[in-house]
Amino acid sequence: MLHEVKSLNEECGIFGIWNANNAAEYAYFGMHSLQHRGQEGAGIVSFDDKNIYMHKGEGLLSKIFADKNNLNKLTGRSAIGHIRYATAGSHGLQNIQPFFFNDPRMPFAISHNGNLTNAKSLRDDLTDNGAHFQADSDSELLGSLMMLDQHESFIDRLKVSLKKLHGGFAFIIMTPKGMLGVADPHGLRPIVLGKTKAGSYILCSETCALDAVNAQYVRDVQPGELVHIDNNDYKIDHYTPSQGLSICSLEYIYFARSDSIIHGVSVHSARKKMGIQVAKEHPVKADVVIGVPNSSLDAALGYAEASGIPFDMGMIKNQYVARTFIEPTQDKRELGVSMKLAAVKSVVSGKDIVLVDDSIVRGTTSKYIVQLLKEAGAKSIHVRIASPVIKYPCFYGVDIESKTELIGANQSVAEIKNTIGADSLGYLSVDGLIKSINLNCNNKYHGLCTAYFDGQYPTDLDDYKAKYDEETEQIKAHKGAEQFVR
């Protein structure tokens, strides 16, 4: 299976529109602006009064729908779409969503962003109860549970089944009668409601997809909520009580597009504040601040603003290589980074540099960039990371499920500094991160999941717990490690 050259793998993007002319076309344009969330495959399912239409494929949306007929055949006034980056189950067409369930009581299609922590146990139970599966990802389990459930109404079947799911999930569910949006009890994955000028409702992962189709933001779907949309309006219901918002902090740090607004916080502003905050926490004398295009540029601007050191374009990104797919081995990954990023010698030569990146996962990018800047004549390189040390894996929809691949779980900050060859290295503190995002949420989690940094998982780890416990002893060794080294 081929993968894009990315160090930090993204999540999925979901989009649904109800009661619109050319619904599938809306889905296509909305999903196009969510392409950063997954590049493995995509699909759209549309409904008209009598029929269901579907087209799915592997790779980028523009490739899957390059033949316009693939979109034109998706008629009807409602459509639901999905773009995938796998976290559970195999790669390949069978796991590309939306999944369609031909339930004679009420047919439905589902799109899922997230990862279920109890998927294996649920699958085992369902298999014992005679369920048949279309594929092997976690996402179809909601449909499988609903197919076996005996409640009379569709909503009851949905609510009962949702209660059995653990972990991170945002779902859009579509039937011939209406569209539904769901957030897990902690709201780990983002999902928003919007409305077009013509009055059609949209559910999608990020507000950038609403902007792309000229729709207005209505509200974020809150933890434990079930939003019903039909021809008349939308209605907010709950399938379970909220456990308090703890949305994935990496959405703000890296995943979401900078122009999106999540739970009232502009992603761009949050990133800029992370840069301002890391400048306060780890000041350094230097000639120029540079960012790693594109995802750290907002933070680099913040660092420059707070420190008074000028920002410049010390690195450029080859936009075309970002869409090159290669095998995800370490040597190919390194080759991928070198094809993707290049130094601007006139900016970096002879200079003391502050190099800002949004995160370090395996260390591949930072190591390569430090080397690149040295070769371009930089005098010294002070790396500043606009997020805390990533030491713990994620089980809620991001593809870092083992600590063995995390440099921050295996090395102290001093060791990482040496590994990447920097003159100094400073990470943002967890408090600094919470302050920069500032969700103004008074719950235990400050509105955020910061498990990557502090191991505070808002849910049980269920089927992942045994492996996680095995790795925990090693992780402990680095607990409380310093945030800065010279």
Ligand X SMILES: O=P(O)(O)OC[C@H]1O[C@H](OP(=O)(O)OP(=O)(O)O)[C@H](O)[C@@H]1O
**Radius of gyration, CA atoms only, the chain:** 22
Annotated active-site positions, please?
12
Among 7, 324, 412, 424, binds ligand X (CB under 6 A): 7
Question: Between 180 and 383, whose beta carbon lies closer to ligand X?
Answer: 383
User: Alpha-carbon distance 105 to 465, whole Å?
Assistant: 37
Give the phi and the psi of residue 348 in degrees, each rounded to 5: -100, -20
Among 85, 99, 100, 303, binds ligand GLN (CB under 6 A): 85
Does residue 85 bind ligand X (CB under 6 A)?
A: no
Question: Between 137 and 295, whose beta carbon lies closer to Mg ion?
Answer: 295
Does residue 291 bind ligand GLN (CB under 6 A)?
A: no
Question: Between 107 and 363, whose beta carbon lies closer to ligand X?
Answer: 363
Give the phi and the psi of residue 408 in degrees, each rounded to 5: -70, -20
Does residue 75 bind ligand X (CB under 6 A)?
A: no
- Long-range pairs for 98-105 at CB < 8 Å and ≥24 separation? 98/43, 98/44, 98/45, 98/54, 98/174, 99/134, 99/135, 99/139, 99/140, 99/143, 100/45, 100/52, 100/54, 101/143, 101/146, 101/147, 103/146, 103/147, 105/154
Tally of CB atoms within 10 A around 205: 33
Partner from Mg ion, ligand X, ligand GLN, none contacting 403, C-beta within 5 to 8 A by type = none
Question: Between 35 and 222, whose beta carbon lies closer to ligand X?
Answer: 35
Q: Pick left, alpha or beta for residue 357 (phi over 0 → left; psi -120 to 50 → alpha; otherwise beta).
A: beta
Q: Binding mask 87-116 vs ligand GLN (x if CB under 6 A, - otherwise)?
A: xxx-----x----------------xxxx-
Question: Between 144 and 296, whose beta carbon lies closer to ligand X?
Answer: 296
Pairing between β-strand 78-84 and β-strand 13-18 as defined by DSSP bridges = antiparallel
Q: Token digits for 386?
A: 């606009």
User: Alpha-carbon distance 427 to 303, whole Å?
Assistant: 12
Question: In the bound complex, what is the minimum distance in angstroms from residue 156's beta carbon to ligand X?
Answer: 42
Binding piece for ligand X, criterion CB under 6 A, among 76-84, 111-119, 166-174, 362-370: 362-370
Are 211 and 270 a contacting pair, CB within 8 Å? no
* Three-state DSSP class for residue 28: helix
Tell me the β-bridge partners of 217: 194
Question: In the bound complex, what is the minimum distance in angstroms from residue 485's beta carbon to ligand X?
Answer: 17
Binding piece for ligand X, criterion CB under 6 A, among 151-159, 360-368, 408-416, 451-459: 360-368
User: Alpha-carbon distance 459 to 444, whole Å?
Assistant: 13
Q: Binding mask 259-298 vs Mg ion (x if CB under 5 A, - otherwise)?
A: ------------------------------------x---
Does residue 368 bind ligand GLN (CB under 6 A)?
A: no
SS (H, E, C) 319-371: CCHHHCEECCCHHHHHHHHHHHEEECHHHHCCCEEEEEECCCCCCHHHHHHHH
Q: Binding mask 254-273 vs ligand X (x if CB under 6 A, - otherwise)?
A: x-------------------
295 is in an annotated binding site: yes
62 is in an annotated binding site: no
Question: Between 386 and 449, whose beta carbon lies closer to ligand X?
Answer: 386
Does residue 411 bind ligand X (CB under 6 A)?
A: no
Question: In the bound complex, what is the minimum distance in angstroms from residue 318's beta carbon to Mg ion?
Answer: 13
Does residue 363 bind ligand X (CB under 6 A)?
A: yes
How long, in residues, is the chain? 486
# of chain residues touching Mg ion (CB under 5 A) = 1
Does residue 357 bind ligand X (CB under 6 A)?
A: yes
By beta-carbon distance, which residue lies closest to ligand GLN? 12
Query: Residues 130 to 169: which contact ligand GLN by CB under 6 A?
Result: 137-139
Are 407 and 416 a contacting pair, CB within 8 Å? yes
Residue type, 331: D
Partner from ligand GLN, ligand X, Mg ion, none contacting 360, C-beta within 5 to 8 A by type = ligand X
Q: Where are the alpha helices (DSSP H) in 88-153?
A: 119-128, 141-148
Question: In the bound complex, what is the minimum distance in angstroms from residue 5's beta carbon to ligand GLN?
Answer: 18
Partner from Mg ion, ligand X, ligand GLN, none contacting 364, C-beta within 5 to 8 A by type = ligand X
Give the phi and the psi of residue 371 in degrees, each rounded to 5: -60, -45
Pairing between β-strand 52-58 and β-strand 41-47 as defined by DSSP bridges = antiparallel
Question: Between 282 and 333, whose beta carbon lies closer to ligand X?
Answer: 333
User: Alpha-carbon distance 295 to 271, whole Å?
Assistant: 9
358 is in an annotated binding site: yes
Are 324 and 336 a contacting pair, CB within 8 Å? yes
Are 94 and 140 a contacting pair, CB within 8 Å? no
User: Alpha-carbon distance 150 to 173, whole Å?
Assistant: 19
Binding site per annotation, positions for Mg(2+)? 295, 357-358
Binding site per annotation, positions? 295, 357-358
The site for ligand X (CB under 6 A) is made up of: 6-8, 254, 292, 295, 357-366
The site for ligand GLN (CB under 6 A) is made up of: 11-12, 84-89, 95, 112-115, 137-139, 397
